[in-house]
Chain A
Amino acid sequence: MNRVLKYIYACLVVFPVIFLMAMSFAEKWRFPDFWPENWTFKNWSSSIFGQGDLLYSLIVSLGISLMLASLVCVISFFVSKEIAYSKYRKTYMKLTLIPYILSPIILAVIFQYYFAFTSLTGKILGVLIAQLFFALPFGIVIFNNFWNDKILSLEQLTFTLGATPKESLLKAVIPLSKPAIILCFFQSFLVSWFEYGLTRFIGLGKVKTLTVMVFNFINEANVFYAALACVLLVLPPIFLLYINKKALILKQ
């Protein structure tokens, strides 16, 4: 019985992907028909390989997410180290937690003026910077767990063995921080990849990421294209999950 329940659960969990895939190949689905009238490759061929709207969105989303993940990893690696070994570590971490908790759309609302003032609204760079402010606390919280007494002792040990700060960083600290860097990269990538509200607000709808396209298709009542965009949204994270399951675990 337990085994049956597990199979049912597994099917339930996979069902969304199957449903979206099916819809993305569908055309004309009138109520009360259970199945669509037609199955077609037209949606895929025209939106990705034809006019290329979704292909462009896929590239924009990938570009922004990869760039953001890289920036967050680099910046939060060094910032979190300064925080971890600072006298005011508790205060800094309390303050870091606030943007981490706030809704990204509210963050966008409260600092959109500055983006408009600097003409960054409606631009990919503006969206990237806005997402950076939101995603950076994620990175700092992840690396906060890494910088501990043991790492500090190891770093100091390397100095006494003759290593310069640069050598210590490259030969000892960074190799040890690989699990944290991978976790930070994946988490930041997903934060950016999935983000809609902040992207829409700062991007003014002109920066057409996949999430923005999903909403555009929903507003146009084009559910089949919306389903296609959703498939493109979920496939990379599924791929990431299977190549590195542990990197996506949110630890307590």
Chain B
Amino acid sequence: MSTFLELQNISKSFDEETILEDVNLSLEHQKTLSLIGASGSGKTTLLKIIAGLEKASNGNVVLNKQNINNLPPQKRKIVYLYQDALLFPHLSAFENIAFGLKLQKQKNIRNTVNAMLESLGMIEHAEKMPNQLSGGQKQRIAFGRALVIKPQLLLLDEPFGALDPKIRSNMQKLFKNLVVAQGLSSIFVTHDIKEAIIIGDGIAKIEKGKLIQFESKQSFYNTKSSGVQAEIDFWKQLKNEKE
């Protein structure tokens, strides 16, 4: 598999504060990279640089072997999804999904959007306004809006962070099915280790502006600072106490 996205020595500073320091990252075609990072680690800034919403102080963003540093966000076909679904409050669920298609002046919008609503299990909610939808439903519509325009790359910034555990689990499954079905490449940011392992084909960790990309999931499990071993030990101890 060829490298689809490559970040080369990306650095970013605001005034005297270093947000990102020499970040290197590679993502293969049709793969999902889970990026673990706490608040203030620089993960949001990194995603915005990839999306073109912010400019790096140094370094290159290379997509499909092309340097896209100076390409505006409208032309990158990289969609950035926030933790908040950020639906347009003045548009219905249908119109939210259709938004990007209308910008592209595509034909047959109605059929395309309805097909997407079906795959999201949201067809009966098509005419509802965002304030009539639950948190999970809003996230589904936000996904639909991003996927329907067939982006090259999807950037997700803790999209399930505000959802309760059961809905979160359903959304993780939905996400995995959709990206596989559409053959999408994505970077999925989370601070939940379990979610990172479930969602990602590979794992990276960002801390205080520095990024470590693990060669494999196994090397992530074996790294002491990953927290995986601590989790396993915790559940083992609980099991022993119970017995």
Chain A contact residues, CB within 8 Å of chain B: 150, 153-154, 156-164, 167, 171-172, 175-176
Q: Roughly how many angstroms separate A150 CA and B89 CA in the complex, as a whole number?
A: 12
* Contact B84–A156 (Cβ < 8 Å): no
* Contact A154–B86 (Cβ < 8 Å): yes
Q: Roughly how many angstroms separate A161 CA and B145 CA in the complex, as a whole number?
A: 8
Judged by a CB distance under 8 angstroms, whether B56 is at the interface is no
Give the Cβ gap from A138 to chain B, nearest Cβ, in Å: 25
Judged by a CB distance under 8 angstroms, whether B103 is at the interface is yes
**Which of A153, A160, A175, A176 lies in contact with B73, CB distance below 8 A?**
A160
When distances are taken between beta carbons in the complex, the residues of chain B under 8 Å from A153 are: 82, 84, 86
Q: Mark B88-118, 1 if CB is under 8 A from A, else 0.
A: 1110000000011011100000000000000
Q: Roughly how many angstroms separate A150 CA and B87 CA in the complex, as a whole number?
A: 11
Number of A-B residue pairs with CB-CB distance less than 8 Å in the complex they form: 56
**Which of B53, B84, B90, B146 lies in contact with A159, CB distance below 8 A?**
B53
Tell me the B30-49 residues at the A interface (CB within 8 Å).
48
* Contact B88–A159 (Cβ < 8 Å): no
Interface size on B, residues (CB 8 A): 26
Q: Which of A162, A171, A172, A176 has the most CB of B within 10 A?
A: A162
* Contact A160–B80 (Cβ < 8 Å): yes
Query: 17 A-B Cβ contacts within 8 A?
Result: A150-B86, A153-B82, A153-B86, A156-B53, A156-B73, A159-B72, A160-B51, A160-B53, A160-B74, A160-B78, A161-B79, A161-B103, A162-B74, A162-B100, A162-B104, A175-B90, A176-B89
Q: Roughly how many angstroms separate A176 CA and B89 CA in the complex, as a whole number?
A: 8
Q: Roughly how many angstroms separate A158 CA and B82 CA in the complex, as a whole number?
A: 12
Nearest residue, chain A, Cβ from B151: A160
Nearest residue, chain B, Cβ from A163: B103
Q: A160-B79, A161-B145, A162-B103 are in contact. Are A150 and B84 (CB under 8 A)?
A: yes
Give the Cβ gap from A183 to chain B, nearest Cβ, in Å: 17
Q: Roughly how many angstroms separate A164 CA and B78 CA in the complex, as a whole number?
A: 14
Q: Roughly how many angstroms separate A159 CA and B53 CA in the complex, as a whole number?
A: 8
**Which of A157, A162, A163, A164 lies in contact with B86, CB distance below 8 A?**
A157
* Contact B74–A163 (Cβ < 8 Å): yes
* Contact B82–A161 (Cβ < 8 Å): no
Q: Roughly how many angstroms separate A176 CA and B76 CA in the complex, as a whole number?
A: 26
Q: Roughly how many angstroms separate A164 CA and B73 CA in the complex, as a whole number?
A: 9
Q: Roughly how many angstroms separate A162 CA and B103 CA in the complex, as a whole number?
A: 7
Q: A161-B99, A171-B99 are in contact. Are A154 and B88 (CB under 8 A)?
A: yes
Judged by a CB distance under 8 angstroms, whether B10 is at the interface is no
* Contact A167–B82 (Cβ < 8 Å): no
Give the Cβ gap from A69 to chain B, nearest Cβ, in Å: 23
Judged by a CB distance under 8 angstroms, whether B199 is at the interface is no
When distances are taken between beta carbons in the complex, the residues of chain B under 8 Å from A156 are: 48, 51, 53, 73, 80
Judged by a CB distance under 8 angstroms, whether B149 is at the interface is yes
Q: Roughly how many angstroms separate A156 CA and B52 CA in the complex, as a whole number?
A: 10
Give the Cβ gap from A150 to chain B, nearest Cβ, in Å: 7
Nearest residue, chain B, Cβ from A159: B73
When distances are taken between beta carbons in the complex, the residues of chain A under 8 Å from B84 are: 150, 153
Q: Roughly how many angstroms separate A92 CA and B28 CA in the complex, as a whole number?
A: 46
When distances are taken between beta carbons in the complex, the residues of chain B under 8 Å from A172 are: 88
Nearest residue, chain A, Cβ from B76: A160
Give the Cβ gap from B103 to chain A, nearest Cβ, in Å: 5
When distances are taken between beta carbons in the complex, the residues of chain B under 8 Å from A150 are: 84, 86
When distances are taken between beta carbons in the complex, the residues of chain B under 8 Å from A157 are: 80, 82, 86
Q: Roughly how many angstroms separate A158 CA and B90 CA in the complex, as a whole number?
A: 14
Give the Cβ gap from A86 to chain B, nearest Cβ, in Å: 14
Nearest residue, chain A, Cβ from B15: A87
When distances are taken between beta carbons in the complex, the residues of chain B under 8 Å from A158 are: 99
Q: Roughly how many angstroms separate A111 CA and B83 CA in the complex, as a whole number?
A: 50
* Contact A161–B53 (Cβ < 8 Å): no
Q: Which of B78, B99, B145 has the most CB of A within 10 A?
A: B99
When distances are taken between beta carbons in the complex, the residues of chain A under 8 Å from B102 are: 171
Give the Cβ gap from B102 to chain A, nearest Cβ, in Å: 8
Q: Roughly how many angstroms separate A226 CA and B216 CA in the complex, as a whole number?
A: 86
When distances are taken between beta carbons in the complex, the residues of chain A under 8 Å from B78 are: 160
When distances are taken between beta carbons in the complex, the residues of chain A under 8 Å from B88 are: 154, 172, 175-176
